[in-house]
Amino acid sequence: MTWRQTDPRPRTRTAAPKTAVPGIAVPETEKPSPGWTIRGTGSYLPSRRVPSDGIARALGLPADWIESRTGIRSRHVADPAQAASDLAAPAARRALERAGLAPGDLGLIVLGTSTPDELGPSTACRVQALLGARNAAAFDVSAACTGFLYGLQAAVGWLATQRGAAPYALVVGAEVYSRFLDPADRATCALFGDGAAAAVIGPAPAPYGIGPITLGSDGTRAGDVLIPAGGSRAPAAPETLAALGHTIRMDARAVRDFISGVFPRLVAEACEDAGIKPADLALVVPHQPNPRLVASLAAQAGLEPGQLAIAGRDAGNIGAASLPHALDAAVRARGLKGGDLVLLTGFGAGVTWGRALITWPPA
Question: What is the set of active-site residues?
Answer: 145, 287, 317
DSSP string covering 181-241, please? --TT-HHHHTTB-EEEEEEEEEEE-TT-EEEEEEEEE-GGGGGGEE--SSSSSS-S-HHHH
Cα separation, 67 vs 52, whole angstroms: 7
Beta strands 209-217 and 19-21, pairing class? unpaired
From residue 107, give the alpha-carbon distance in Å to each of 112, 168, 184. Answer: 17, 6, 43
Cα separation, 357 vs 271, whole angstroms: 9
Backbone angles phi, psi at 231, to 5 degrees: -105, -165
Instruction: Enumerate residues 6+ apart whose C-beta is below 8 A from 262.
Output: 8, 347, 353
Best CA proximity match to 112, nearest among 155, 79, 70: 155
The 10 Å CB-count burial string (b at 16+, else e) for 3-32 is eeebeeeeeeeeeeeebebbbbeeeeeeee
Asked if 352 and 216 count as a contact pair (C-beta separation under 8 A), the reply is yes
Beta strands 19-21 and 137-141, pairing class? unpaired
Beta-bridge mates of residue 199? 41, 171
